[in-house]
Amino acid sequence: MSPRAKQDILVAVVIYAVVGFLFAVTTSLSSDSALLPRMVLTLTAIVNTVDVWYIIAKDKQLRAAGVVESSRLPFGDAKMPMIVFIGSIAYTALFVATDYFIATAIMIVVYMLIEKVKPKWLIIVITVLYLAFIYYLFVVQLSVRLIR
């Protein structure tokens, strides 16, 4: 098995472990509350299984052709997922420290700047319209408390 396939299988095993742990956590929920998380976790396990099957089939095909894939992941391929992951952690921390509207406004502006949205005024318009829509829908119409 190629180093790339071993690496991908290891990631799949970690995903199975996380899914198993989260599935065990759902046992403390009522059956109605646990239905959606269990469905999502089951779907995740099925998709992961299909991915493992694809990895093994691709590795067999490459070995038959005499090609060995390297296990290195180019930085360019990992850059955007890492930015989104770090941004999600920062958004969560900002959300806990402030409130929904402040954290979301900052997140939208930062992600649009990262994606190089032009013209710059469009970033402000989109952010204001989005937050106004959410405020009207949830705070005014549904009486959900989004502001501390």
Domains of the chain, residue spans: 3-65, 75-141
Q: At what angle do helices 31-65 and 3-25 cross, to 10 degrees?
A: 170
Q: What average pLDDT score do residues 33-57 get?
A: 93
For the cut 70, the answer to whether the pLDDT of residue 71 exceeds it is no
pLDDT category at 31 given cuts 50, 70, 90 is confident
Q: What average pLDDT score do residues 61-71 get?
A: 80
Burial of 8 (0-12, 13-18, 19+ CB in 10 A): buried
**What local confidence, expressed as pLDDT, does residue 131 receive?**
95
Q: What secondary structure letter does DSSP report for 28?
A: G
Give the Cα separation of 38 and 19 in Å (integer): 9
Q: What average pLDDT score do residues 105-134 get?
A: 94
**Tokens found for residue 63:** 């070995």
Longest dimension (CA), the chain: 64
Query: Mean pLDDT, the chain, as a whole number?
Result: 89
**What local confidence, expressed as pLDDT, does residue 79 receive?**
83
What is the Cα gyration radius of the chain? Answer: 21
Task: For residue 63, give every residue at least 6 positions away whose Cβ sits within 8 Å of its Cβ, in sequence order, or none.
Answer: 2
Which pTM does this prediction carry?
A: 0.56
**Tokens found for residue 36:** 């959606």
pLDDT category at 29 given cuts 50, 70, 90 is confident
- Helix (H, G, I), strand (E, B), or coil: what is residue 116? coil
